[in-house]
Structure 1
Amino acid sequence: MSQTVIPLQFEQYLQEKINAGYGPDMNEMIFAYIPGLDLAAPIDRTTGLPDPSTWVHKQSVDQVGKVGESALAYSVVIPSSVAEFTFNAIYLHDKNVVNSCGVIVHKISETKEDGMSSTKSLLQAYSGAAELTGITVDAETWQIDYQARLNGIDDDHRLGCLDSYGEAAVIDGFKVSKQTVQNKYLITAGTAYVGGLRAVTEDDIVQTITNKPSDIYIDVYRAGSALSSYINNVSIFTSQTAESNYIDAGGNKHYVEKIATINADGSVTDKTTLKTGALERADNAATEDDINNEETNLKHVKLNQFWNGIEKKIAESALFSQGLPWDKNRIYKTGEICTIEQNGEIQIMQMYAGPNLTCVNKDPAILTNRHEQWQDATAPFWWIPYTGTEVGMPFWWLSTAPPETAIMELNVNLPTAVYWRLARKYPELVNGNFINTGEIRGEFLRVLDQGRGVDVNRRVGSWQDHQFQKHKHDIHGESGGANNIVAFQDTNNDSGITYPYSNVESRGDSYIHVGNPNTGSYGEETRPRNVARAMAITI
């Protein structure tokens, strides 16, 4: 027994919405459990939502559709993940507006159980409901057909099995053997997949076959009802004509597969697609030659064949893969990358030796194979730490000892047999069998002019002596002894400095000597304040 009313407050809510140019928006259902609820008593239309302490669940409306022009159906689908609750009243309202309850339902207590989904729908009827709310979709177009949905889920599973096992796959059993009794044949219990459906027989089956030749088939279909479990139904039948999948009078789709042929002489020929105990077709199993020769036709493989094929591919790709741990048996070409572990850290190393050279069993962890402790001035070293830095890139360094990936710029002749990458980068710096990057020590660097016209006729690495730009000063001073004030201006009459000197020496009105050679910052060159850094270059 249940009762349903539209509260009076909905009429006020509806009028206010219409006056504001909007339609009603019933967007939330509230489920409540009201102790002592009298289902025989009429629902008081002056009431609205119950006290929040009675609420056991609330949920936004999932869908709304019209039922004719003057009724609306509101539905929620409570998912199985929602915890169990018991309710005996349902309320529909606009969660954004107070006093907007549109439907009240009092009903027998009902429990939404754990792991169970539930659909609840409320019907609200009033004149022009569909037009006022702008709802144009009929409720029947979106109400969920769970039977169709479950059938769809079942068929998705069937298709997944079909992808995995093909049209038929005997896992075990379903072996046919001739018995001593005339015309009797035993089909052992087994498990198979036919048309994607799992077919299981618990007991052996005996068939009497008098008409020969004849074929034995498995027939499997899935059936049930909305109120019962769906199961796969399996049967065995014989036929002297070719059989295929079919649909019975009840609309059930049957999937059929031949498992054996009884020949005219009574002998048995196995027709199972997959052999007992192995997912491998007898006439389509991959051989070792297929694996080694990379057969492209579709064939079934054993697990050990699969792993052997993977290992073969890995071994082949390792010949070209970079960044793998150093392999003493691998032939490394110039520029190839490997990794080593030193002091608990992974270090990336690059094969350095010149073009057309290869490296085998030269451990990059041994320093004598690297630039750091290389002794042969007639040949390049084997390995160098890989940093990705451009070869020939000069850079500041905070030590006089270079990193292993570089040398200090010290104006020395370097053998091109060792420093071949540097020689290839700067062939203009090569002289015979040596390369020299030039003198940089103790010098200030100046950016090359390259056509600007400020510092013309220069080339990379050229040296330039110090000089002052041409200028002059007019010095005006008072003759006299010590402690006189001396001022000067330049030729443009711009102010210079005024400073008291204690050693002004008068030598007539035309010459004044100012200065103290024993104080201040002076020396044998002109320079700004500076900090000394070493310069290195990547090799």
Structure 2
Amino acid sequence: MGASITLAGESLIAQKHVAQQGLDVVRFIFANVPGLDPSGPVDRAAPKPAAGQIVHVYDIPGENAGYVNPNQVVYSSQIGSDIGDWDFNWIGLETAEGVLFAVAYVPLQIKRRNIPPLQIGNNLTRNFLVAFDGAQALTGITIDASTWQHDFTVRLAGIDERERLSNRDIFGRACFFGSSLQVEKVGSVYQVKPGTAYIDGIRLERTAALPIVPPAFPTTVWLDVALQREMSDVVASWQVVFGADKPDFTDSAGVRHYCVAIADLTNANTLIDRRSVEAISGPLVTHFAARIGDYEQLRARATTKDDVDLGNLPNAKSDSLELDDSESLATSKAVGKVWKSICVQTSNFAVNKVLTAAERGLVLVDASAAGRTITLPASNAALGVIDFIVRRTDNTGNRLVVQASGTDKIKFHTHLKASGYPFFILMGAGDYWHVRSDGAGNWWPIGRFDSTPLGRPVFETTTLFSPGGYGAFNGSELIRSEWPWTWDHAQQSEMLTTEAARVGMEGGWTSGDGVSTFRGPEGRAEFLRILDDTRGIDVGRKAGSRQKATGIQGFVGGDGSALFVGLSDMDATADGGVQPWNYYQQTGSGGVINSAPNRVHPRNIAYPGRIKLI
């Protein structure tokens, strides 16, 4: 493209200098000159084109003239889309005197008027810079051309690029808001979720899911993103592509493309998300203000507390309850552990109740109205280690069960059953158990009202039943499922017989009906004796066996002759009398004076007997 001041223009400049007059360029002339060579030099001596070749004349507003420097001035034409239609290849500047001042040859260009919906018009801006000594002074132009004389294509492209780079500084190479543009498989169909993301500073937004079809497996899913011209605008353009590697590239039109991997599809059933995700769901300022600091990176950058005006704060945190360090802060987890261990509160219940962690501490239960069941919380990791003290307040015979949740176990009488039992019984007013969870499905007894061993017989000085787990020492029948630990004790005691073999073994246990019951020892009105256990004095005795009483028979001669004594084994009858066994008589010369058998026993006191049932 050629451009030059004409000879007439050059002469006019000289004349104006001599006359000390101003040079006034007032209009643009656009013409379509047939056969004009835009690459050739301008014919400086040529006049204006013929009137039939002139397609448009544009009067230059005063504000459309500006100076670049003292020796350069520029004139601008701005023709809207309401003007047209015409083509041009020749541009000229004309002065107020009608002198053709400067000319430019250009390739044939078009100007169209906007005629909706038939035709989209275009705007036309042309700048003509003229350079000669003293140009600003001669033309009297006082407006700095830098305020308005732009090549808008270059200027807008620069704006777009600066915005992209600014976005990249904020969002990085790639930033996806939440699940935005995440690849997912719905049934047998792959799709990209809707949402917002920034790829190398270019903002992407999709309002609906986008179905995609992988060509083969394995493959990687990529976003190919660019700023593309669309009409008179530049917009974000993107598409989903597949391949092992997709570096950034510049296409044949000079547009830069940015490629970011968003998912790996190793096979038809495996999908790996490769997006850089931020949990952004609202304004960025709110998000940044609320987010947690990058403490690890602060340390990596050797940032000190004093650097951020926090020199008076400890510089570490800890979940430990044992750490003794003034430079470390206890976390809420550590505080929670302490709170669980020291917080004791009192709860009262007279109904069935499933306890919660919030009710840790002392639990008082009244079962006077009916049998009651208290269920402990599940001893899992969420519960952790907490304590309950469950205490009975009534003295009725109603059954009060404290049971573990689900498959949890209470670790008592583990000498009988290593896994423990699912429940225990509180018997009598004041009976209590203190249990502690381990967070792994178990409750461990820490203490209880009465720790007398299971199955032990004891004497009482009251006909009432003391609290702590005692039953009558009367050979009563028990249900195995209600007393599983007692049944386990009986089975392992080596004192268990069948119900049919009970006679003579009343001090032991029996298997009851053989299915669901068992029977405890009978100790009423009996003297208790320590088992011989191979000593050789009470030979042949079995643990739990009953021994017959021994009767003494006296014989006195009527003539005062010698006394004869006979012995026999005897059992008490149900009515309190005696039943002789192998009874015999011994007579002297005077005959039998007294042949009635007599039981012999020490002087004694009768106390109620009890047996420990739990």
Superposition TM-score, scaled by structure 1 size: 0.33
Task: Name which one, 1 or 2, has greater alpha-carbon Rg.
Answer: 2
Structure with the bigger RCO (C-alpha within 8 Å, sep 6+) is 1
